[in-house]
Chain A
Amino acid sequence: GDSVTQMEGPVTLSEEAFLTINCTYTATGYPSLFWYVQYPGEGLQLLLKATKADDKGSNKGFEATYRKETTSFHLEKGSVQVSDSAVYFCALSDNNAGNMLTFGGGTRLMVKP
């Protein structure tokens, strides 16, 4: 079945540091890939998405590129802020399997001033 694997957290960075959160997936067919963010006490918000190989999703300074050859969708940001502290979920939607989301385990990011 489909699965998503994320690096375990927490990831602790100083403000303005470079961020990478690794995400790899296993899926049949050609999935769409997503990053969702969950701030403390809130629901999930879509951060960015990519629907086909080599697509780059970007939003609020975050980027991720759909790499079919390495089955990866790593999240990056060049300069993190304290306000980026949250839990980040990588997810896929397999277009051949009813399009339900499969989530990774989540990675907590803590950014210190």
Chain B
Amino acid sequence: DTEVTQTPKHLVMGMTNKKSLKCEQHMGHRAMYWYKQKAKKPPELMFVYSYEKLSINESVPSRFSPECPNSSLLNLHLHALQPEDSALYLCASSRGTGPGANVLTFGAGSRLTVL
């Protein structure tokens, strides 16, 4: 299995809703990532988990809350989002974060629309 699976593919939510994005990989990778991608822009790093511990938080607002329940799963909990948070959210994984181990495998993304 060489895939990163993200669900749901599309999500529409109101500003008062609470929802979650889910990501799963079964490649034995020990690093997992959340990226945000706006239209016609490159992905922007949000969070990095290494060995199930949060290692990087790129000053992301607290309305985004990541969770790594185990080495195969990564969630992004969403609460009180703003319309400008509408974007494609990409999950990725890699063998590790060290030199030579950091080639990322990306999921297809979850397209989020905040009304």
Interface, chain A (partner B; CB < 8 A): 32, 34, 36, 41-46, 49, 51, 89, 93, 95, 98-101, 103-106, 108
Interface residue B69 (Cβ < 8 Å from any Cβ of A): no
> Please, which residues of chain B bring their CB within 8 A of the CB of A36?
106
Contact A98 B56 (CB under 8 A): yes
- Residues 95-110 of B, flagged 1 when their CB comes within 8 A of A and 0 if not, give 0011110111111110
Q: A43-B109, A106-B40 are in contact. List 18 more A-B contacts (CB 8 A).
A: A32-B102, A34-B103, A41-B108, A43-B92, A43-B106, A44-B43, A46-B103, A49-B103, A93-B102, A95-B99, A98-B56, A98-B97, A99-B97, A100-B97, A101-B45, A101-B104, A106-B42, A108-B40
Interface pairs A-B: 8 shortest CB-CB:
A103-B42, A43-B106, A99-B102, A95-B99, A44-B106, A43-B108, A43-B109, A43-B107
A-B pairs with beta carbons under 8 Å apart, 9 shown: A43-B107, A43-B108, A44-B43, A46-B103, A46-B105, A104-B42, A105-B42, A106-B41, A108-B40
Interface residue B76 (Cβ < 8 Å from any Cβ of A): no
Contact B56 A43 (CB under 8 A): no
- Residues 11-54 of B, flagged 1 when their CB comes within 8 A of A and 0 if not, give 00000000000000000000000000000111101001000000
Interface residue B74 (Cβ < 8 Å from any Cβ of A): no
> Please, which residues of chain B bring their CB within 8 A of the CB of A104?
42
Select one of A32, A49, A105 contacting B41, CB under 8 A.
A105
Chain B interface mostly: loop
Contact A42 B99 (CB under 8 A): no
Interface centre among A98, A101, A103 (most CB of B within 10 A): A101
CB distance from B11 to the nearest CB of A (A): 15
> Please, which residues of chain A bring their CB within 8 A of the CB of B4?
43
Contact A100 B56 (CB under 8 A): yes
Known contacts A93-B102, A95-B99, A43 near B90 by CB under 8 Å:
yes
Considering the chains assembled together, what is the distance between the CA atoms of A98 and B38 in angstroms? Answer: 24
> Please, which residues of chain A bring their CB within 8 A of the CB of B43?
44, 103
